[in-house]
């Protein structure tokens, strides 16, 4: 095999698509080894080119949706768990239950909509961070109790950047809310 053969074989892969030049044709006609090598290359291309295009199964989309849902749930659960470890813990105000009850504008199963401004915290409670907890309520957002099937701890309520440790005491205002809405974990949505 000389340099011309090397060039012909190296370039045959590309040339076969656009057509061989007269020079190539001439070389192939006179060089049996190159003709054989190029024929093998051509054979591989033809064989692979004859394979059918496999079509995606009809339930591919459903599978993706299910995995996306599972992945989002897992991410949510992970961030929830991480939040629990890092968030400052505060106690719920004693009159939170009454305030929430008084502020309820609409009640629909596990969703309570509160009147804007109906629940406020006094700064004197030194719960400035905890104020973030109730901002959604103040703005009239939804208070949602989401029954949890995940491993989310049930003894802690998380809102924004603050965690409120549940006491388990039936007289505790948050326990009253929890009891009314059903077991699960808190999720705040604006």
Among 49, 122, 124, 190, binds another protein (CB under 8 A): 49
**CB neighbour burial string for 53-75, b if at least 16 within 10 angstroms, e if fewer:** eeeeeeeeeeeeeeeeeeeeeee
The CA-atom distances, in angstroms, between 65 and each of 60, 62, 68, 72, 173 are: 9, 5, 5, 10, 39
Q: Smaller CB distance to another protein: residue 59 or 109?
A: 59
The three-class DSSP label of residue 180 is helix
Rounded to the nearest angstrom, the gap between the alpha carbon of residue 157 and the centroid of all alpha carbons in its chain is: 22
Q: How many whole angstroms separate alpha carbon 20 and alpha carbon 190?
A: 67
Which of 1, 6, 7, 10 binds another protein (CB under 8 A)? It is 10
Instruction: Give the residue with the Cβ less far from another protein, 32 or 49.
Output: 49
Nearer to another protein, 41 or 132 (CB): 41
| Residue 54 lies near another protein (rule: CB under 8 A) | yes
Site string for another protein, 71-110 (x = CB under 8 A): x---------------------------------------
Q: Which is nearer to another protein, 30 or 43 (CB)?
A: 43
| Tokens, residue 74 | 């897992």
- Positions in the binding site for another protein (CB under 8 A): 10, 13-14, 40-57, 60-61, 63-64, 67-68, 71
């Amino acid at each position: 095999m000389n340099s011309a053969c090397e060039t012909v074989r190296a370039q045959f892969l590309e040339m076969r698509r656009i057509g061989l030049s007269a020079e190539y044709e001439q070389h192939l006609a006179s060089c049996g080894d190159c003709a054989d090598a190029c024929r093998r290359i051509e054979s591989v291309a033809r064989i692979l080119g004859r394979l059918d295009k496999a079509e995606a199964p009809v339930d591919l989309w459903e599978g993706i949706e299910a995995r996306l849902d599972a992945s989002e749930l897992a991410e949510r659960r992970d961030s929830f768990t991480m939040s629990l470890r890092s968030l400052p813990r505060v106690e719920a105000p004693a009159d939170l239950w009454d305030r929430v009850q008084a502020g309820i504008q609409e009640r629909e199963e596990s969703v309570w909509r509160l009147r804007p401004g109906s629940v406020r915290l006094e700064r004197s409670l030194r719960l400035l961070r905890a104020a973030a907890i109730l901002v959604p309520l103040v703005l009239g957002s939804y208070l949602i109790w989401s029954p949890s099937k995940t491993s989310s701890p049930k003894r802690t309520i998380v809102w924004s950047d603050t965690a409120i440790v549940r006491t388990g005491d039936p007289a505790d205002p948050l326990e009253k809310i929890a009891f009314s809405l059903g077991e699960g974990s808190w999720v705040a949505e604006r």
